[in-house]
Amino acid sequence: LDFRVRDFDRHGGTQVQLFYASVSGLNSVSAKGTFPNLKFALGKSVAGVRGVPITHADTLTSVDTEFSWDLTDSVAVRVGAAVDSQIVAEGSYYLYAVATDSVDVVVGQSVAALIVKHSPSFTFYEPAKDTHRQINTGSQPIYTIQWQKGPGDADFDDNANIDLYFTSDNPATINYENYPDSLLADGDTRLLVKGLTENGEGSEDMYTWNFRSPPFDVPASGTKVWLYAVVTDAHDNRTVELGGALTMTHDPHITLLSSKLDEYASFQVNDVLRITWDDYLVDDGLSTDDAYIRVYASNQAPATFSNLQALETAVGASNAFLINSSDGTLNGTISTVREDSSNFIDWDTKKYTVPLATYYVYAAISKDPTFNNNTATTFSYSSEVLTIAGTGATPNISLSPTDQIVAESDTVTLDVMLHYGSPINLVQVVLKLGDDPASFNVVNPSAPFTDLNEVFPGTSPIENTYKSSAKQLRFVKSTFQGQVVGSSTSPARLARFQMVPTKDLVASPSVTFSTGETGTVVGMVGKADPVQHGELGFSVGDPLFKEVIRGTVTAKVELEGRTLGDNNHTTLLEVHLRLPGSTVDISDSLFKKNNDDRTASADTVEVTTNSTGDLSLTDVPPGRYVLTVKDTSHVSGRSDTFTVRNGETVQINTGAAGTEIGFYGSDLRGDPTMLLAGTQSGRQLIAGDVSGDNEINEDDVNAIIAAWGTGSTAVPFLRADINNDDAVGAPDLTLTTSNFGNSEGFGAPPVYKRAVAGDNGATVLELQPLFDGRQPLWPGQEVEFEVQVRELDDLAGYEFDVTFDPSGLRLVPNGVKDGGIFADNPWGAVFENRYSDGELSLIGSRIGKEWSAREDGVLARLRFEVLEESGIESIRTGEGLLLTS
C-alpha cells in the first residue's frame, strides 16, 4: 500500500495508522492513549460501520510511504462490544489512513476500492511442469500424481476441491493456465479425477491413478497429453495449474500364479490342474480393451521361447500343448479365454493323450485373437515343472481341480464334476471337512454352492447348505426326467463352491466325499434305492490338497556408517510393499500381522533386521511389487519390480553376485538411480536423513549439531547417532554432509584415525600461536592460535577438543573462526563449535564426496584474552578424529 502524509511542522513525527472498511466516507475518529502511541477507532461506535485496523499498521509515521499488508494475517474485528480475531474476508474495501500531530486528526481515504480474493493455489511435483513421462501400463499399472513436495496446494480460507484433467492440446500452442472455462469447454479435455480435497496433507497430497480401474478416462495409447489441476474454493475462486506431460503405451499384461508345480507330487493322467493368473489390459476407449489369453504346457524350458509366436510354433511342432484347445493342438476347437473372464483354466488331462513327462506351464496374452506373427513377449511361465507320472482313475463324481496347493487366506474355487452313462434323476453331494481345528472356512455357508445348470438344467437345488456341526457341505438336485450326464473324458459341472484356508491349515488338509446311503449318491431312473460308491460302477474321487506357504521376500539391508561404530546393522526398518507405480502400501492383513514388529505404528510395517542386515518378509500375497525400505537415519532404497507367487522365495540382493535385484536410490524426481553400494551392489542405504524427511540437506546438519554432545536420552540422539557408536560427532556429521546432493547411490562409509592426545607435535595436529611467545604477556592482552594439520592425504571431516584453564584464559566473544581447511570445496562445508568451562569442542566436515582436503591446512583460529600470564601454558588439544573419504 502506497501512501503519503504531509506535516509541515513536525517533519516526520506525525503518527499514522491504516484501516480498511467496506464503505467509503468514514471520517469519525476517536482515540485512546497518549501521543505518539494513540490507538484510533475509525467510524461510528453506535449502529454504524467501523473501519478495521490493519494488523501491524499502527506504528507508522509520516516518514513512511508504503506498507506491505499480509492479507493472510488475522485482524482484530469488533463485533458489538467484543473484539474477535478474524481473517480478512473476501470483498471490496476502501483503505483509510488516520494521521495526527497530537493537535489535529485527519482521515485520508482511497479513491478506489481494493478487491480481496483468497484464491487457492496448486503446484505439481509429479509430473512437474515442463517434464515428460513415458509409461507402459503393461508394466506399471499405477501412476502416482504428486503435489506433496514443494509449494503443493493451499487455500487460505476454505477447503478447496481439486479436479485433475488431461488434454492433448500442447500448451506451447494452447495454454489453459488461468482459463478454466476454456479448458473445460475444449473437446480434447478429459476428466481424470474429481473432488479431491485440498485440506489433506502428506499422503492426501497424492493421487494414485490406477489404470486397471480408473474412475474416468485414460489417455489413448501413444498419445502425448498434458495434465491440469483445477482448484475451486467455496467462493468459486478457481485456479488452473499446468503439470507435466505423459505418453502411455497400453500393452497387455499377464502373471502366471500357478508356478510351484513341483508341489504336485502325485499328479497323474486323468487328473485336473487349475492354472491361475492375473491379467489386465488398460481400456483407452479406442482399441482392443479385452485381450485374448492362451495357456500352454511344454517340456521345453522358458529360455526356448522368446515371444508368443515361438510358443505357437512349439504347439505346431508337437513340443507343447495348447491347453485351451479341445485336442491340445492348433487344429482343435480353441476355447476363447478373454482378459475380462475368470482368471483360471482347468487343464483336464482326460481330454487328450498327455505323455508321462515334465511340463512347464505358460500363460500368454495378446490383443490379437489368432496369436499369429506375434512378436510380443507378453507371457509368463512357471518356476518349476509339473511331473505327470502314472494314470489315475476317472470317478463319476470328483472335484475340479482334483489336486490343489493352497495357502492361508487365499480363496479356493472348486467345481463338483459329474458323469454317469445311465439316466439319473437325483444327485446328492456330501463333502466332509475333516480337520479340527478347521483348515478351511466356507464362503457363504448359508448357501455355499452356485448351481452351474449343466446337470438337470432349469431345476432348483433341493438342498444347498453347510452344516457346521457335522462339517458337511451338502448339495442335492433332482429332476422328474432322467438325464445321461457327461462322459468319462468330459464330465459336466454340477455346482461351484469356495473355501478360504485358515491359520490352522495343515500340511495335507482333509476334504472327502461322504459315502453310504446318506452320503454322496445318485438316483438311477427305474431304481428305487440310490446308487452309492462301489455300486453299479459308481465311484467318487476325493481331492488332494497340500499346504504351501505364501511367498517370501529376503533382502540384506546394510546401513552406511555402521562400520564406523559397532558394525551392527540391526535396525527397525520401515518396509513398504507396493504395486508398481504406487505410493500406497498393500493392505493385506495376513502380511501385516506376520511381519510387523511394531504394531503401534498402524500405517507402516516395521521389521527388525539382524546384525548383518538380513531382512525376511513372509506371507507375501501373490503379485508384482516394488519393495521400499527405510531406516530412521538413512534415505530409502527401493527395488525394481519383482513377482512373488505362493511357495516361492524372491531374493532382492542375497543371491549370487550379479543375480540379485538390488536396491536403488532416487533422484529429486523420484526416478531410480544406479544400484546402491554395499558388500554386494544394492545393499547399502545412504546415511544422513536425521530429520526423517527422506532427504539429506541442512536440516539434517542442524539436527546433528543439536544432538552433538547430548546424552542418549535426548530426543534427537538416536537419529543423529548414525554410526551407532553411542556418540554424536564428526563421523555422523561427515557421513551426512558427504551425501549432500548424492543421488547416485554411491557412498562407502568413511574411516578415521585418532589424533594424538595431549601432544602438540606435527604428526597430526599442532596448536600454533600467532604471537611472539618470547615476549612477556600481560592480563587483558588478546592472543590468537591456529589449529594446524600437516601432511594430509584425504580429509573429509574432523572433530577435536581444545582445553585450557578458564582462570588463566578467557575465550573472547566470537573468538572461534573456521580455519578454511575446506574453503576450496565448491560445494562448501559445515563448521560448528561449543564451549563450556574451559573445554572447547570443534567439529567440521566437507559437503559432498567429490572433493577432500590434502597436504597442509588450518582447521580453526582461536582468540583468547589473557587473565594470567601462566594461563597460556594450559592450552592443549584433546582427543579427536580425522576422517577420510
Q: Is 432 found in the same domain as 383?
A: no
Report how far residue 750's alpha carbon sits from residue 383's, in angstroms, rounded to the nearest whole number: 42
Domain boundary among 210, 227, 249: 249
**For residue 750, what pLDDT is reported?**
27
| Domain CATH number, residue 865 | 2.60.40.680
pLDDT tens digits, one per residue of 324-368: 999 999 999 999 999 988 899 999 999 999 999 999 999 999 999
Q: Is residue 403 situated within a structural domain?
A: no
- The pLDDT-based confidence of 511 (bands split at 50, 70, 90) is very high
Report how far residue 610's alpha carbon sits from residue 23's, in angstroms, rounded to the nearest whole number: 72
Maximum CA extent, the chain: 132
Q: Is 142 found in the same domain as 72?
A: no
Q: Is 310 found in the same domain as 265?
A: yes
Q: Tell me which amino acid residue 850 is.
A: E
Cβ count within 10 A of residue 668:
11
**Alpha carbon 499 to chain centroid distance?**
32
Does residue 143 contact residue 211 with C-beta atoms inside 8 Å? yes
Q: Is 134 found in the same domain as 106?
A: no
817 forms bridges with which residues in the sheet? 861
Tell me how many degrees the CA angle 443-448-453 measures, rounded to the nearest 5: 135
- Counting the structural domains of the chain, the total is 6
Arithmetic mean of pLDDT, 375-387: 95
Q: Is 95 found in the same domain as 62?
A: yes
Q: Is residue 762 situated within a structural domain?
A: yes
**For residue 487, what pLDDT is reported?**
96
**For residue 315, what pLDDT is reported?**
95
Q: Is residue 168 situated within a structural domain?
A: yes
Does residue 311 contact residue 319 with C-beta atoms inside 8 Å? no
- The pLDDT-based confidence of 47 (bands split at 50, 70, 90) is low
Does residue 587 contact residue 578 with C-beta atoms inside 8 Å? no
User: How many percent of the chain have pLDDT more than 90?
Assistant: 60
Mean pLDDT score of the chain: 88
* Cβ-based neighbours of 160, under 8 Å, separated by 6 or more: 120, 153, 197, 198, 199, 231, 232, 233, 234
Q: pLDDT at residue 749 above 60?
A: no
| CA proximity to 199, closest of 239, 161, 248, 230 | 161
**For residue 656, what pLDDT is reported?**
53
Q: Is 151 found in the same domain as 109?
A: no
pLDDT tens digits, one per residue of 185-239: 999 999 999 999 988 777 788 899 999 999 999 999 999 999 999 999 988 889 9
Q: Is 566 found in the same domain as 468?
A: no
- Grid cell at residue 458: 432349469
Does a cis peptide bond (omega within 30 degrees of 0) precede residue 716? no
Domain boundary among 74, 99, 116: 116
Report how far residue 336's alpha carbon sits from residue 292's, in angstroms, rounded to the nearest whole number: 7
Helix axes 730-738, 698-707, angle to 10 degrees: 180
Q: Is 668 found in the same domain as 612?
A: yes
Least confident among 273-287, 733-747, 847-861: 733-747
Domain boundary among 249, 270, 292: 249
Write the DSSP symbol of residue 722.
T
Cβ count within 10 A of residue 286:
11
Q: Is 208 found in the same domain as 95?
A: no
Q: Is residue 703 situated within a structural domain?
A: no
- The pLDDT-based confidence of 755 (bands split at 50, 70, 90) is very low
Q: Is 660 found in the same domain as 571?
A: yes
Write the DSSP symbol of residue 147.
-
How distant, in Å, are the alpha carbons of 400, 422, 486, 556 from that of 521?
18, 14, 16, 57
Cβ count within 10 A of residue 864:
21
Q: Is residue 716 situated within a structural domain?
A: no
- The pLDDT-based confidence of 745 (bands split at 50, 70, 90) is very low
* Cβ-based neighbours of 775, under 8 Å, separated by 6 or more: none
Q: Is 258 found in the same domain as 239?
A: no
Q: Is residue 741 situated within a structural domain?
A: no
Q: Is residue 783 situated within a structural domain?
A: yes
| Domain CATH number, residue 418 | 2.60.40
Least confident among 35-39, 251-255, 485-489: 35-39
**For residue 662, what pLDDT is reported?**
83
Q: pLDDT at residue 591 above 70?
A: yes
- The pLDDT-based confidence of 638 (bands split at 50, 70, 90) is confident
pLDDT tens digits, one per residue of 417-454: 999 999 999 999 999 999 999 999 999 999 999 999 99
- The pLDDT-based confidence of 154 (bands split at 50, 70, 90) is confident
Q: Is residue 724 situated within a structural domain?
A: no
Report how far residue 803's alpha carbon sits from residue 811's, in angstroms, rounded to the nearest whole number: 11
**For residue 754, what pLDDT is reported?**
32
| Domain CATH number, residue 211 | 2.60.40.10
Q: pLDDT at residue 746 above 50?
A: no
Arithmetic mean of pLDDT, 376-404: 96
User: How many percent of the chain have pLDDT more than 70?
Assistant: 93
Q: Domain limits at 537?
A: 408-542
Q: Is 236 found in the same domain as 128?
A: yes
Say whether 263 sits in a helix, a strand or coil: helix
Write the Ramachandran bin of 181: left for phi over 0, alpha for psi from -120 to 50, otherwise beta. alpha
**For residue 752, what pLDDT is reported?**
27
- Grid cell at residue 697: 540437506
**For residue 668, what pLDDT is reported?**
53
